[in-house]
């Protein structure tokens, strides 16, 4: 049980960042400043919501999301670590790793000069996590909430041997209608099509979505743009330290089967995930570190 009063005494920022108990008893920190607002769950250091001040939400959170300690939350920015997708050899281990379903420690909170709020979290590997990942590895997540949302996921190898990780910021973006949306920046990229037995293909033109879509674009460091004519806005996704971009929408059948998308939830979301997946997994030398960094911003689309 988290001591919320102690957290607020140590890291609360009056009028800007307040730690409180959220849905399902999951502790969250609510951020509101002159430039934007967000909610972050301490489980998984998971951004659940974000909106620049005076603008509609940019991050999608399912209306049917389940908030159960130890279970993944549908929406927001789940942190996938230390592997992406199914575990390479042990099928019983959780998809996308364990980082998103364990409590993280708060290690910092500050107001930046431009009025944005920065929150710092650290994942301390508990016994269950070390059983799945027997390496001396430190993981931090630094989240900056303002008119942009910045997330820096930092893996440090404190072991005596190299480690290889897959990771992702598995971000759910809010859109007016997925059928009207265009995703640019991946033109010409090779991708693994998980809807076609993982076959390797090449992207021709911008990405549009009219059915279940699950693609791992490889060897791409490019920014992506989500053009949303319905909301007359473009979401710009900048990234560093990510060699893969995953595009996912479950469409109708899969979203109903998953049970936590809500009625037609699939229509209002698209995942564009900055990742290191499949061929792009990252090896970190002893003493080394790897940053997976993203910056999300919106701009009007005329
Ligand atoms: O990133 C796409 C994906 O790997 C899909 O295959 C689908 O499984 C999605 O992640 C959601 O996974 P989750 O474990 O959060 O239900």
pLDDT of residue 124: 86
For ligand 1, which residues put their CB under 6 angstroms from it?
72, 85, 95-96, 170, 194, 214, 246, 248, 271, 273
pLDDT of residue 96: 98
- Reading the block at residue 146, the tokens are 């303002």
pLDDT of residue 15: 86
pLDDT in tens, the chain (302 residues): 789 999 999 999 998 999 999 999 999 999 999 999 999 999 999 999 999 999 999 999 999 999 999 999 999 999 999 999 999 999 999 999 999 999 999 999 999 999 999 999 999 888 989 999 999 999 999 999 999 999 999 999 999 999 999 999 999 999 999 999 999 999 999 999 999 999 999 999 999 999 999 999 999 999 999 999 999 999 999 999 999 999 999 999 999 999 999 999 999 999 999 999 999 999 999 999 999 999 999 999 98
Work out how many domains the chain is built from and give that number.
1
pLDDT of residue 45: 98
pLDDT of residue 28: 98
Which CATH number covers residue 100? 2.70.98.10
CA torsion sign for 77, 294, 243, 177 is positive
Collect all residues with Cβ–Cβ distance below 8 Å to 154 and sequence separation of at least 6. 139, 140, 141, 142, 289, 290, 291
pLDDT of residue 135: 97
Q: How far is the CA of 159 from the centre of ligand 1 (A)?
A: 30
Relative to beta strand 163-165, strand 289-300 is unpaired
**Which of 96, 142, 170, 243 is labelled catalytic?**
170
Residue of the CA atom closest to atom 9 of ligand 1: 248
Choose among 166, 274, 174, 261: nearest CA to 217.
274
Q: pTM for the complete prediction? A: 0.98
- Residue 183 belongs to what domain range? 4-300
């Amino acid at each position: 049980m988290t001591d919320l009063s102690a957290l607020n005494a140590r890291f609360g920022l009056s009028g800007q960042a307040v730690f409180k108990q959220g849905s399902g008893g999951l502790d969250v920190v609510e951020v509101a400043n002159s430039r934007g607002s967000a909610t972050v769950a301490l489980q998984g250091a998971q951004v659940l919501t974000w909106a620049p001040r005076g603008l509609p939400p940019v991050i999608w959170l399912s209306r049917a999301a389940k908030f159960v300690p130890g279970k993944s939350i549908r929406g927001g920015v789940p942190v996938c670590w230390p592997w992406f997708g199914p575990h390479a050899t042990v099928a019983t281990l959780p998809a996308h790793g364990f980082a998103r379903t364990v409590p993280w420690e708060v290690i910092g909170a500050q107001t930046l000069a431009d009025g944005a709020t920065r929150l710092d979290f650290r994942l301390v590997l508990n016994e269950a996590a070390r059983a799945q990942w027997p390496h001396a590895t430190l993981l931090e997540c630094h989240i900056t909430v303002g008119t942009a949302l910045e997330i820096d996921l930092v893996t440090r190898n404190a072991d005596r041997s190299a480690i290889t990780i897959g990771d992702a910021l598995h971000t759910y973006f809010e859109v007016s209608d997925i059928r009207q949306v265009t995703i640019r920046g991946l033109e010409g990229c090779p991708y693994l099509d998980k809807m076609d037995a993982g076959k390797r293909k090449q992207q021709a033109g911008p990405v549009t979505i009219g059915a279940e879509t699950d693609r791992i674009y490889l060897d791409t460091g490019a920014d992506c743009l989500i053009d949303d004519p319905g909301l007359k806005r473009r979401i710009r996704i900048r990234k560093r330290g990510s060699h893969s971009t995953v595009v996912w929408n479950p469409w109708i059948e899969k979203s109903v089967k998953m049970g936590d998308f809500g009625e037609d939830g699939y229509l209002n979301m698209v995942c564009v995930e900055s990742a290191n997946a499949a061929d792009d997994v990252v090896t970190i030398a002893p003493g080394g570190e790897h940053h997976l960094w993203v910056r999300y911003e919106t701009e009007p689309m005329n």
